[in-house]
Amino acid sequence: MTDQHPALSLRGLAKRFDTKVAVAGVDLAVPTGSFYGLLGPNGAGKTTTLSMAVGLLRPDAGEARVLGYDVWADPVRAKSLLGVMPDGVRLFDRLSGAELLAYHGLLRGMDPAVVDQRAAELLDVLALSDAGRTLVVDYSAGMKKKIGLACALLHGPRLLVLDEPFEAVDPVSAALIRDILHRYVGGGGTVIFSSHVMEVVERLCSHVAILAEGRIKQVGTLAEVRGDRSLEDVFVEVVGGRTATGEELSWLSR
């Protein structure tokens, strides 16, 4: 029955911190099977929006549904379909990579044997098995991103919500992650991720939304949004960028 519903639908999501309106009413429908890119400048409200969509942050208004299940009214059903990699949140990093995966798997109610097998596979594919029993605190930034991704994938979710998955990841790993996500979408999964990297979004996404100042400024399939220009041009135009004139910061060159 879940198939008539969009994988993720946000309606009128809004959040205000004290006086600062971080998200001012976001509507978004992420179709099942799509690869959705959420773009926006720093401070646009991407992290805030995604946090509200997955149940980490209580919205002031609006609703979020995962495959039809309300994240706030029916969290158990909604969350069981979700795989999440939040940004700016620590992992339980005093566990080793394998321990962390086992923890996540069992929390999701998976069978221990399946957890073992999938954890070994994920660690192998993401080139984390070499880290052995090193605690996750001592991983590099890129390795932390990768183990975070592994945790989100482990239970085979129907919808993946990733906040800046390509940040701090080396090109080889980035290519690997892209491949994994491609396979995942090809197999019927849905991905929504936030990013600043236009090339990645252009290469991967079927749909794009551009968020700025807490509002969706532009949304549609990649072709609709891009038209015949490059995505970067569209982004800069929508967001209203500026370029350095050469006058300011003259003290930087001696």
Partner 1 sequence: MAVPVTVPERPARRVSPWHFVRLKLRVLGNNFRGQTWRVALFVLGLLFGLWFAAVGFFLLAAPGLAGESRYALMIAAFGGGVLTLGWLLLPLVFFGVDETLDPARFALLPLSRRTLVTGLLAAALVSVPALATAITAAGLVVTAGALGGWAAALAGALGVVLGLLVCLAGARAITSAFATMLRSRRVRDLAAVLLAVLAALLGPLQLLVLAAVRQTDWDRLDGVARVVGWTPFGAPWTAGVDVAEGRAGAAVVKLLIAVATLGVLLLWWSRSLESAMVGTASSGPARTPRGVAGGAVAQLFPRAVGWTRRDRFGALVARECRYWWRDARRRANLITVAVVGVFVPLMVNLGGPAFLSEGGAAFEQATADSSPALVSLTMIFVGALASVTLANQFGFDGSSYAANLVAGVPGRVELRARMAAFSIYVVPMLVVIAVALAVVLGRPEWLGVMGGALFAAYGCGLAINAFVSVLGAYSLPESSNPFAMNSGAGFTKGLLTLVSMVGSAVVAVPFVVAAALLGDVWLWLALPVGLAYGGGAALLGAYMAGDTLDHRQPELLAAVTPRR
The span from the CA of 110 to the CA of 170, in Å, is: 31
Phi, psi angles (nearest 5°) of residue 159: -130, 130
Contact set for Mg ion, span 43-82 (CB under 5 A) = 47
Which of the listed partners (partner 1, ligand ATP, Mg ion, none) does 48 bind, with a CB threshold of 5 to 8 Å by partner kind?
ligand ATP
The structure tokens 């794009």 sit at: 208
149: which residues sit within 8 A by CB, 6+ positions away?
Answer: 85, 126, 162, 165, 177, 180
109/187 with CB nearer partner 1: 109
Q: Judged by CB under 8 A, how many residues of this single chain contact partner 1?
A: 47
Residue 96 vs 195, nearer CB to Mg ion: 195
Closest approach of Cβ 193 to partner 1, in Å?
A: 16
Shortest spacing between CB 32 and Mg ion, in angstroms: 25
Q: How far is the CB of 160 from partner 1 (least distance, A)?
A: 12
> Is the Cβ of residue 107 or residue 175 nearer to partner 1 in the bound state?
107
Identify whether the C-beta of residue 155 lies closer than 8 Å to the C-beta of residue 163: no
d(CA 57, CA 72): 10
Q: Please state, in angstroms and rounded to a whole number, the distance separating the CA atoms of residues 197 and 76.
A: 33
Q: Given candidates 23, 44, 54, 64, which one binds partner 1 under the rule CB under 8 A?
A: 54
Helices 112-125, 141-153: inter-axial angle, 10-degree rounding = 140
Are 47 and 23 in contact, with CB atoms under 8 Å apart? no
Taking the complex as a whole, the smallest distance from the CB of residue 113 to Mg ion amounts, in Å, to 37
Q: Mark residues 34-63: x for contact with ligand ATP by CB under 6 A, - for none.
A: ------x-xxxxxxx---------------
Question: Are 153 and 180 contacting, i.e. CB atoms less than 8 angstroms apart?
Answer: yes
Using the rule CB under 6 A, is 192 a contact of ligand ATP?
no
Q: Taking CB under 6 A as the criterion, which residues in 4-33 touch ligand ATP?
A: 17, 20, 22
**Three-class secondary structure of residue 153 per DSSP:** helix
Report how far residue 208's alpha carbon sits from residue 226's, in angstroms, rounded to the nearest whole number. 9
- Binding site residues, ligand ATP, CB under 6 A: 17, 20, 22, 40, 42-48
- Binding site residues, partner 1, CB under 8 A: 18, 54-58, 75-76, 79-80, 82, 84, 86, 88-96, 98-99, 101-109, 112, 115-117, 119-120, 132-135, 137-138, 151, 254
